[in-house]
Amino acid sequence: MIGLATLAVLSFYRNPWRRIPTGLHAGTMLSPADGVISAIEYVDSHEAVEGKAVIVRIFLSVLNVHINRAPCDCTVSKLVYREGKFLDARTEESAKVNESNLIVLTNDRCTFGLRQVSGKLAKRIICPLVEGQSLSLGEQFGMITLGSTTELILPMDAQPSIVVEKGQRVTGGLTELARVEQ
């Protein structure tokens, strides 16, 4: 039994090597996490982009790799940590009220956000980033322990084209989620 528990913990913290794609279309945003697209939501206002946005929400089950990755070359402009509840990450309400860490990023096309959201079991968000830090496409930057959610928040004024759909499995640093045109 102890061996099985040890294997489960080691499996959760695994960090498989990934060959990050090259030669991508300008404006490509890769998935920041492994999991399943649980929602694609259009909102009238989001603090990450200070205006209308589309949120691509990825649910990470306890079986997924929980490392977060940069969706493009970008720079950290702001970090906003919020205390909150620890509801089951599969519920829609959890994305609004659970503990979270918003990372506002900029690149040569737009300002956008990534949000790490804890779940019922996930009570630890790891994000060692600092303002002004540069990230490369696919670079690892943190994780959320156990079941959780990662969101990519894109401004509508960058004319994002979402290329995934709800229920689709995605792989961090490999699966294209969207393209921004501006």
CA–CA distance, 180 with 159 (Å, rounded to integer): 6
CA–CA dist 170, 163 (Å, integer): 11
Residues 6+ apart with CB under 8 A from 161: 178, 179, 180, 181
HSE value, Cβ hemisphere, 13 Å, CA-based, for 122: 33
- Catalytic hit among 31, 94, 100, 148: 148
Our answer to whether residue 148 is catalytic in this structure is yes
Phi, psi of 105 (to 5 degrees): -125, 155
- As given in the structure block, the two tokens for residue 92 are 């829609």
On the 0-12 / 13-18 / 19+ scale of CB atoms within 10 A, 158 is buried
Write out the catalytic residue numbers: 148
